[in-house]
Amino acid sequence: MISRYTRPEMGEVWSQQRKLECWLEVELAATEAWAEEGVVPKEAGEEARAKAAFTVEAVDERERVTDHDVAAFVDVVAESVGEHGRWIHYGLTSSDVLDTALALQLRQAGEVLLGSAREFRDALIERALEHRDTLCVGRTHGVHAEPTTFGLRLAGFALEADRNVFRLNNAFEQLAFGKLSGAVGTYASVPPAVEARVMGRLGLQREDVATQVIPRDRHSVLTSRIAIAGGGLERFATEVRNLQRTEVREVEEPFASGQKGSSAMPHKRNPIRTERITGLSRVLRGYAQTGLENIALWHERDISHSGAERVILPDATIALDYMQDLATKVATGMTVRTDRMLENLELTHGALFSQRALTALVESGMTRDDAYRVVQENAQQAWDTGTEFRDLLAEAAPDLDLDAVFDYDAYLTHLPEIFERLEALRG
């Protein structure tokens, strides 16, 4: 991922330095496990732990000779250990190191990603609670429907964000698996006891049947759920973008002092942050597709997944982390124009109370179809002519309790339970 969209903590997880450090953790744990099994000298494990070292530059230079990244790394580390360096990578195949070390990197990436996911959820919760009673118009098909509250709208986004926290956490949990079962997973070159010792040291579980690699269905779950989380961010971003349109102007993204909205039109304040989230969510869906295609490898393995994963796993986690942070800043800092929300509620001159009028007429004894026609005719007349729907309805149905029909509080009555749930999540 380009540096523009990479936050430092997540970028560090996917640095070349950190990747090789994870490789070294696996190699050292394996050497020590062999020593504990009595297969290699005890001193080999001790010497490896004390002396093993590398530099990214040295590994890169060696790879120009070997044309194999793991072999280059092993050469550099073995040389740093000295005589007992020959036991580094003993019995292992490259994927033993690569896949197990990848699990370590993904665990770290998960900690960062879940942190920003929770921050986004919590920011939405705070704003939802703040605006639990802020009336605004609800829209279906982009058209005014019925009154709702801005807090309820944000509550829906907050609970979706909470579901994404759960989904992402589960995805990372089922990726905490490593393997040291050799070239095609038969344990011919490394026994299960060594694998068990290594996974215990690293805090990972053993893959039951790994062939030469960890099955890629595990990784596709992560890229798919990252795409789903991105879709949730896009849904929030799309709502903000729509509410920021000049004709609506109920919500605006934060606009910093000194910020320029347009190079040509100084009056512009464009929703650039939410548009950026929208665009990046499309990228995440592409990564999810690639993750799914990585599942089907030839026989015990090929490396068609390898080059793709070197792109999609770092980039997907980096991008989602960035997007969640950006969305958190939007949620926290957005301007909510409650006065404009009230103005927009009146654009249909009360026609958005049509369903309450319909049910009131049905309750009065009128057939549903007759009631529908009365309400439809007068509601459309109110909207088209600018006449108050309440006045028109008073003439069409003089016996109706209009105070009960035109009651904004009716849209608030059943909401406390939802906000109690948000309070519990916040706690």
3-state secondary structure of 135: strand
Q: 80: burial class by Cβ within 10 Å (0-12, 13-18, 19+)?
A: middle
Cβ partners under 8 Å of residue 75, min gap 6: 62, 66
Tokens read off for 291: 């993750």
- Cα angle 288-290-295, degrees, rounded to a multiple of 5: 100
- Within 54-93, residue ranges assigned H as helices are 56-66, 69-81
Residues in the chain: 427
Q: At what angle do helices 389-396 and 368-385 cross, to 10 degrees?
A: 140
Distance, in Å, from the CA atom of 287 to the CA atom of 221, rounded to the nearest integer, reads 11
3-state secondary structure of 75: helix
CA dist list (Å): 111 to 10, 18, 260:
9, 15, 35
Q: 27: burial class by Cβ within 10 Å (0-12, 13-18, 19+)?
A: buried
Distance, in Å, from the CA atom of 229 to the CA atom of 163, rounded to the nearest integer, reads 9
HEC-encoded secondary structure of 274-330: HHHHHHHHHHHHHHHHHHHHCCCCCCCCCCHHHHHHHHHHHHHHHHHHHHHHHHHHH
Cβ partners under 8 Å of residue 203, min gap 6: 107, 176
- Cα angle 345-233-223, degrees, rounded to a multiple of 5: 155
Instruction: Please say if 364 is a catalytic residue.
Output: no
Instruction: Please say if 349 is a catalytic residue.
Output: no
Distance, in Å, from the CA atom of 78 to the CA atom of 283, rounded to the nearest integer, reads 40
Residue with token string 């793709």: 308
Q: Which residue is catalytic, options 141, 267, 299, 414?
A: 141
Q: Which residue is catalytic, options 15, 68, 262, 304?
A: 262
CA dist list (Å): 219 to 38, 103, 130, 295:
35, 10, 38, 8
Distance, in Å, from the CA atom of 61 to the CA atom of 256, rounded to the nearest integer, reads 46
List for the chain the helix, strand, coil content (%; round to 5).
Answer: 65, 5, 30
Q: Which residues are catalytic?
A: 141, 262
